[in-house]
Structure 1
């Protein structure tokens, strides 16, 4: 475009009458404008790609947890940590080779248990101890690919949850991560209790271990309707 202007100036200095169509270098101007717009579009496309998709892929991390059970046998668990949405999803495999899923939704204060051997989901509201345990995943220094817990340093506790069978939960009332987990399953609330009592039997238990050297055995039983 600079050459176009120089050619126009030389013509004027020589006293040559410049035709009206040459008073403005249309061809050079539009070529330069098109090139500039193309560069802007390419820059915006690259910025959008790096600014949207890349951070989300980095927000998902998988942590494998190895811990001894109460009998000393090694338990292998995995947890997918979603830093962007404050989610931790456990995959827990029992000694019977059945894998259950436990989802901690710290943003909405809910825990969802999905046993592999039945089409049911069980909800529990998070308390302060649940937040403390889940926060051990959200701390950057603790996000390792593999966490191995020792026998002597691990604290163990048992928690009993009574299933409220007569109070089903509507799928539409749940957030999207819980809907995805509990698709085609019945959903029930649970409540904490000191124990099922002698007249009630424990239906199943799920062991969950956290990087903070705490393992929780969550046991479920059905309350009378």
Structure 2
């Protein structure tokens, strides 16, 4: 037998038989309790997502960074002292090259933005150049190396191709550091920044004032030499 409830003015709720034979309606769920439950659930979800994101941001960036030490003899047979810091997550490769005079120059390959930045240690100047196809090929040889945190690459001197690049410095076109992306800003803070362009050579009237030797795992060593273009 179906049962339904009706309110009595004297005795409150009492049980009575449904006269029309229709099924009894279930008691209505309180709206206030429903929205309180939903709000509490959403709050817990937001807290959990915030905590997870905080932990992700606090993860050390070194997990995506690989140090590659490249050893190769120079033209005189002495070993070139250089290392490359490979950040695959941010598409960055940073070379540290130490000269015979114990001056360390930095060369930053910003693959994402297609730029190369040269910063000699003994000069308060940065030099920018747009990456070309050969630059991408050389840097990708580093990105494809082992995923270990640190590895050593030894290049054979008799199998290494050596070439020289001349870059003319356009002194009149200085760059505002605030217009550069973050990795370049960090490297060139408090430095004069100039654009450069590839040239066939400095010519007899122009002297090369410094060079940076860089070796890649693809058995290619490049000597990048700079000189100022006529204003």
TM-score (normalizing by structure 1)? 0.77
Residue 100 of structure 1 pairs with residue 105 of structure 2: yes
1:67 to 72, 81, 87: 72
Q: Kindly tell me: are residues 174 and 44 of structure 1, through their superposed partners in 2, closer, same or farther at Cα, counting changes over 3 Å?
A: closer
2:164 to 151, 158, 162: 158
TM-superposed CA distance for 1:55, in Å, is: 7.2
CA RMSD of aligned residues (A): 2.6
Separation (CA, whole Å) in 1 of partners of 2:110 and 2:173: 21
Given that 1:136 and 1:142 are in contact with CA atoms closer than 8 Å, whether structure 2 keeps it comes out as: no
SS in 2 for 1:152: helix
Aligned to 1:177: 183
Q: Give deviations 1:92-131, integer Å, cap 9, x for gaps.
A: 0001110000000010000000001110000011000000
Q: Kindly tell me: are residues 45 and 167 of structure 1, through their superposed partners in 2, closer, same or farther at Cα, counting changes over 3 Å?
A: closer
Q: Give deviations 1:22-44, integer Å, cap 9, x for gaps.
A: xxxxxxxxxxxx9x9xx989976
TM-score (normalizing by structure 2)? 0.75
Q: Could you tell me which runs of 5 or more consecutive residues in structure 2 were left unpaired when the two chains were aligned.
A: 1-39
Moved >6 Å (runs of 4+): 39-43
Aligned to 1:189: 195
Residue correspondence of structure 1 range 34-113 to structure 2 within 5 A:
47-48=52-53, 51-54=56-59, 56-113=61-118
